[in-house]
Amino acid sequence: MKVLLYSDGQGWIVDRISKKMREICGKYGVDIDIASYKDPIPAQFPQGYDLIHFNNWDIYPYQRLITGSKVPVLVSIRSFRFPDWIPPFLRDNGINTHVINPKQLSIFTDATCISDGLFFENLKVKEGFTVGMAFQNNSEESRIYKGYYLVKEACDKLGIKLEVAGGELGVTDMQKFYDSVDLMVVASQDEGANTIAMECAAINKPLLTTGVGVAKYLTLHTCERNVESITTEIKRFYTAPQVAHFTWEGFCKGITDLYKEIVYAKS
């Protein structure tokens, strides 16, 4: 199958997506050529393509070509900043539509939703996630008072690491410890000043606290003192698993399946 993909030619996100599609979709039996919205508008679409895909909604200059096309046309809606005429034009002319956000399905009711992938290769992705706690006395009574077992159970549920800075660390070692963890948690039954939370606030270290001590009067991220609440709130910082499935392999497999569905339905 051959597809002509129109990209916006701005050298930013849509062009990057288009190039990624051309790179990956071939393994699913689809060859993609890329044209640009900045190219001169032809009198008719080039021959030899099974489908024309506009990778963004900016199709105003192509309306005549789209409605007169002898091969199927697909239009992707990648934002909510489209002009008012776009939804009725696509709907009234039976134009195949792809959206990337489930919320857009309330506007484009006949569309197929396939969310974009993430360009992980351009991101510094850290392996694992570490939660830190700090309390000097490591006795059983102290662990219970400081909420260690609550935080440990939450971390075990999430499959993440818990490190405790105990009495063996001196005051001057704390900055190094803070740097070694992704999130500090204070889950104490109560605190006087809540020094750990205040130090984290001072250095902008991500922090989750039960709102004890002076920290109660600051604008900090808080949780209830139970495993369920601690787990839920840690997940607001440990966000990587939520987007792990947004891959270009998955997107390209989905979009090529849509291509084939459209082309085969036409034939």
Q: Mean of the pLDDT values across residues 29-42?
A: 94
Residue 97 has pLDDT above 90, yes or no: yes
Specify the range with the lowest mean pLDDT, choosing from 99-113, 148-162, 207-221.
207-221
Whole-number CA gyration radius for the chain: 26
C-alpha pair distances (Å), 201 with each of 156, 184, 185, 218: 26, 10, 12, 9
Residue 216 has pLDDT above 90, yes or no: no
Q: Nearest 5°: phi and psi at 96? A: -60, 135
pLDDT for 238 equals 96
Interacting residues of 104 by C-beta distance below 8 A, sequence separation 6+: 77, 80, 111, 113
Per-residue confidence band for 108, with pLDDT thresholds at 50, 70 and 90: very high
Angle, in degrees to the nearest 10, between helices 248-266 and 13-24: 70
Q: Mean of the pLDDT values across residues 169-190?
A: 90
The span from the CA of 41 to the CA of 29, in Å, is 28
Q: Spell out where 187-266 has E strands.
A: 207-209
Q: Are 12 and 41 within 8 A, CB to CB?
A: no
Q: Are strands 96-99 and 51-54 parallel, antiparallel or unpaired?
A: unpaired
The tens digit of pLDDT for each residue in 119-175 reads 887 778 788 999 999 988 788 999 999 999 999 999 999 999 999 997 666 667 899
pLDDT for 121 equals 78
pLDDT for 167 equals 66
The span from the CA of 210 to the CA of 67, in Å, is 60
Residue 18 has pLDDT above 90, yes or no: yes
Q: Are strands 130-134 and 183-186 parallel, antiparallel or unpaired?
A: parallel
Q: Nearest 5°: phi and psi at 48? A: 95, 5
* Domains of the chain, start order: 2-118+246-266 (3.40.50.2000), 130-242 (3.40.50.2300)
Per-residue confidence band for 267, with pLDDT thresholds at 50, 70 and 90: low
